[in-house]
């Protein structure tokens, strides 16, 4: 099967939102992620663009390495979330919280 083409005019933010909408994830992770992205869009649009670009890039890398891209995608989206944002948007997602904690304890490549 040929890889799906990304619309040329699709921004990293639109691409990340589309990925989030289409993946099957546990609990309300997709809805909670969309709420977080909506807040970033209002209060920190520069950070929104950065985390979406990194999240989309991480999915490409994981896919090339034949790994599940979801953990990398969500870790990149929430990497710069404040403690309050993590408490709000990740409260029902302990696995994602643990993944973020593990990644923050390692140096960034």
Q: Which two tokens stand for residue 97?
A: 């919280």
Q: What predicted TM-score, i.e. pTM, was given to this entire model?
A: 0.82
Lowest-confidence segment of 2-6, 49-53, 66-70 by average pLDDT = 2-6
pLDDT of 97 over the 50 cut: yes
pLDDT, position 1: 42
**Distances 63 to 44, 73, 89, 101 between C-alpha atoms, Å:** 29, 11, 26, 23
- Burial track 62-91 (b if 16+ CB lie within 10 A, e otherwise): beeeeeebbbbbbbbbbbebeeeebeebbe
Task: Tell whether the torsion through CA atoms of 41, 104, 57 and 25 is positive or negative.
Answer: negative
Q: 86 near 97, Cβ under 8 Å? A: yes
pLDDT of 3 over the 50 cut: no
pLDDT of 72 over the 70 cut: yes
pLDDT, position 83: 87
pLDDT digit string (tens) for 7-66? Answer: 567 899 999 999 999 998 888 999 999 999 999 999 999 999 999 999 999 999 999 999
Burial class (CB in 10 A: 0-12, 13-18, 19+), 39: middle
């Amino acid at each position: 099967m040929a890889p799906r083409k990304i619309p040329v005019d699709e921004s990293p933010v639109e691409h990340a939102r589309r990925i989030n909408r289409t993946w099957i994830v546990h609990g309300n992770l997709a809805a909670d992620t969309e709420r977080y992205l909506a807040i970033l869009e209002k209060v920190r649009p520069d950070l929104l663009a950065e985390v979406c670009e990194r999240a989309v890039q991480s999915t490409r890398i994981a896919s090339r390495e034949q790994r599940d891209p979801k953990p990398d995608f969500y870790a990149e989206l929430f990497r710069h979330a404040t403690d309050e944002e993590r408490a709000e948007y990740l409260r029902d997602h302990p696995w994602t919280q643990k993944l973020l904690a593990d990644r923050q304890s390692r140096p960034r490549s």
